[in-house]
Amino acid sequence: MNNLRYSKNHEWIRLEQNEKNKAYIGISTFAKKELGDIVYLDVENSIIGKEIKEGKVFGTIEAVKTVSDLFMPVSGYIIEINKELLSKPELLNKNSWIIRIKMLDIKEYNKLMSLEEYKKYTTII
């Protein structure tokens, strides 16, 4: 089962295997290619334990080409930030997660795009 879903803002979300209401969030390969080399990640520690609604900004990412907001693909409580990325943002150029969350509503996750749907979406934008 592929439990990876994508948002229109180019974030991905992956459910944890044994806990279906917990998930990891990162940015898609498409987004990384569009951004170029990532040089800085700004996700404040103050968001840990906070609820952030779907579509709201949880941080920013700076790349050689531009600065971009990071949006929550689903509503949830922030459990953890991948602290390694704060000192080594270039690791995001690989497939690293940015935050770990506890989702509030699985229906939001189910509405996100599958990989096939996301590939079609990125060819039309």
The CATH code of the domain that includes 115 is 2.40.50.100
Neighbours of 109 (CB within 10 A): 20
Question: What is the extent of the structural domain holding 33?
Answer: 4-124
- Percent of the chain at pLDDT > 90 equals 82
- Tens digits of per-residue pLDDT, 36-78? 889 999 999 999 999 999 999 999 999 988 999 999 999 999 9
Q: Residue 40 corresponds to which tokens in the numbers above?
A: 């800085």
Identify the pLDDT of residue 2.
Answer: 65
Neighbours of 108 (CB within 10 A): 20
Q: pLDDT at residue 94 above 80?
A: no
**Overall average pLDDT of the 26-41 stretch:** 92
What predicted TM-score, i.e. pTM, was given to this entire model?
Answer: 0.93
Beta strand 76-81 pairing with 67-71: unpaired
For residue 1, the model assigns a pLDDT of 42
Q: What is the pLDDT of residue 19?
A: 82
Domain count, the chain: 1
Structure tokens at 86: 């704060």
**Do residues 49 and 77 lie in contact, with contact meaning Cβ atoms separated by under 8 Å?**
yes
